[in-house]
């Protein structure tokens, strides 16, 4: 016979083995795996690209400058050539009464904003959800959204006018009640309530949109089923609506806690004055005055870095706690 079976050639078993081996080797290499993945999903990454570029240019590149927090920075020498001085700026910072006061004020103002400002949009959303008359609902929503779209400068102008001792509506009303005019904006004890109240007035309506959207996502049959079971509107609100939007509430809370040191800085600048620094000066305004007005960039950068690190720790903590206790987390 002319053809003996050739045992050295590729038998089926050998081919299968080779393929498996090649696959194993291939799977072993992370680089190859990433390459395969990119080849397959490149369109998705292409869509991601603009955001990544934005992040790099506006958030990561400036981080290069953060090093001046540890340097004796001078504009003439530049970031790279300024000499390292270690933690000296931080030392100065923690011995600076104004900075410590600013940290304290930041925490207090944030705490009040969170305490009174966080539940407000949720309550608004729940209330809007109960309004049956569509015309009334739409107009009320528009009215509470409106302040969000007005520039902070104008909002501050309105607030200053409203609380002005001569012509302000607040003092006018107090006058009717026989109470003497109060110079609200020069009184340190009035700054925090006015600031927190202004923030709520400006943003609560707009922030309620997130919760309204979450409420809209709750299946109507949950309510119908509850109606047949005999639930009142009040019970449905607490037993269905609130638990259903709880994940949204928690996410918003985590974000909020992460931003707790980001007190609306331009609003403070617009409303405070040296007379109220005692309660009004926060870390950001402190940085602004030291850095931009005082030209102490390195010192201001140290303060800013401190702020960022605290914020980072806060978000991480809030997220971890939430993940452990409620299955909801940002990441």
Partner 1 sequence: MSGVSLKGIVKAYGALQVVHGIDLEVQEKEFVVLVGPSGCGKSTTLRMIAGLEEISDGDLTIDGRHVNRVAPKDRDVAMVFQNYALYPHLNVADNIAFGLRIRKESKETIASSVEEVGGILGLTPYLERRPADLSGGQRQRVAMGRAIVRRPKVFLFDEPLSNLDAKLRTQMRAEIKRLHKRLGVTSIYVTHDQVEAMTLADRIVVMHDGRIEQIGSPMELFLNPVNTFVAGFLGSPPMNMVNARIVAGDLGPVAEFGDNKIQLDQVASLQNSVGQDVVLGIRPEFVTVADDTVPHRVSVEVDLIETLGSEALIHASLQGDPFVIRTETVGQMNVLDGISGFTIAPHLIRVFDAKTGVSLPGQAVGQ
Interface ranges with partner 1 (CB under 8 A): 219, 221-222, 224-231, 235, 239-240, 243-244, 246
Taking the complex as a whole, the smallest distance from the CB of residue 241 to partner 1 amounts, in Å, to 11
67 vs 244 by CB, closer to partner 1: 244
Which residue lies nearer to partner 1 by CB, 202 or 241?
Answer: 241
Q: How far is the CB of 221 from partner 1 (least distance, A)?
A: 4
Query: Least distance (Å) from partner 1 to the CB of residue 216?
Result: 16
Q: How far is the CB of 318 from partner 1 (least distance, A)?
A: 20
Closer CB to partner 1, 10 or 243, in the complex: 243
- DSSP per-residue string spanning 81-134: HSPB-TTHHHHHHHT-HHHHHHHHHHHHHHHHIIIIITHHHHHHHHHHHH---H
Residue 6: partners with Cβ closer than 8 Å, 6 or more residues away: none
Q: How far apart are CA 249 and CA 245, in angstroms?
A: 6
User: For partner 1, which is the closer residue by CB, 273 or 326?
Assistant: 326
**Spatial separation of the C-alpha atoms in residues 264 and 148, rounded to whole Å:** 13
Q: How far is the CB of 240 from partner 1 (least distance, A)?
A: 7
Nearest approach in angstroms of CB 243 to partner 1 is 4
Residue closer to partner 1, measured from CB, 188 or 243: 243
Question: Could you tell me the CA-to-CA distances from 318 to 107, 260, 261, 322 in Å, in that order?
Answer: 16, 12, 14, 6
Distance CA 314, CA 259 (A): 9
Q: Tell me how far, at minimum, the Cβ of 207 lies from partner 1, in Å.
A: 23
Cα-to-chain-centroid distance, residue 201: 18
| Nearer CB in complex with partner 1: 2/221 | 221
Alpha-carbon span 161 to 313, nearest angstrom = 39
Q: Round to whole Å and give the CA distance between 244 and 221.
A: 13
- Compare residues 232 and 273 and give the one whose CB is closer to partner 1: 232
Nearest CA to 322 out of 275, 229, 255, 228 is that of: 255
Helices 119-130 and 188-216 sit at what angle, rounded to 10 degrees?
A: 50
| SS3 category, 208 | helix
């Amino acid at each position: 016979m002319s053809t003996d079976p050739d045992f050295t050639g590729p038998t089926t078993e050998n081919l299968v083995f080779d393929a498996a081996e090649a696959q194993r080797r291939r799977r072993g290499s992370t680089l190859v795996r990433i390459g395969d993945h990119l080849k397959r999903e490149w369109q998705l990454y292409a869509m991601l690209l603009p955001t990544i570029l934005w992040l790099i240019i506006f958030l990561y590149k400036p981080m290069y400058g953060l090093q001046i927090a540890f340097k004796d920075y001078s504009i003439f020498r530049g970031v790279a050539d300024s000499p390292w001085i270690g933690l000296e700026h931080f030392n100065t910072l923690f011995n600076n009464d104004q900075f410590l006061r600013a940290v304290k004020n930041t925490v207090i103002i944030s705490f009040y904003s969170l305490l009174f400002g966080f539940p407000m949009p949720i309550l608004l959303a729940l209330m809007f959800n109960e309004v049956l008359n569509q015309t009334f609902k739409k107009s009320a929503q528009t009215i509470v959204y409106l302040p969000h779209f007005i520039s902070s400068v104008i909002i501050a102008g309105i607030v200053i006018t409203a609380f002005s001792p001569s012509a302000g509506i607040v003092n006018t009303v107090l006058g009717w009640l026989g109470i003497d005019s109060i110079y609200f904006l020069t009184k340190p004890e009035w700054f925090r309530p006015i600031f927190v109240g202004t923030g709520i007035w400006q943003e609560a309506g707009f922030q309620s949109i997130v919760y309204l959207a979450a409420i809209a996502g709750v299946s109507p049959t949950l309510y119908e089923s509850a109606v047949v079971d005999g639930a009142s509107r009040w019970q449905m609100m607490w037993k269905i609506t609130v638990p259903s939007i709880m994940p949204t509430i928690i996410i918003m809370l985590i974000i909020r806690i992460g931003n707790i040191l980001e007190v609306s800085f331009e609003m403070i600048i617009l409303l405070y004055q040296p007379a109220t620094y005692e309660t009004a000066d926060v870390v950001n305004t402190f940085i602004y005055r030291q850095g931009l007005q005082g030209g102490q960039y390195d010192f201001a950068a140290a303060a800013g870095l401190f702020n960022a690190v605290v914020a980072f720790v806060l978000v991480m903590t809030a997220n971890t706690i939430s993940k452990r206790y409620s299955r909801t987390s940002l990441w």
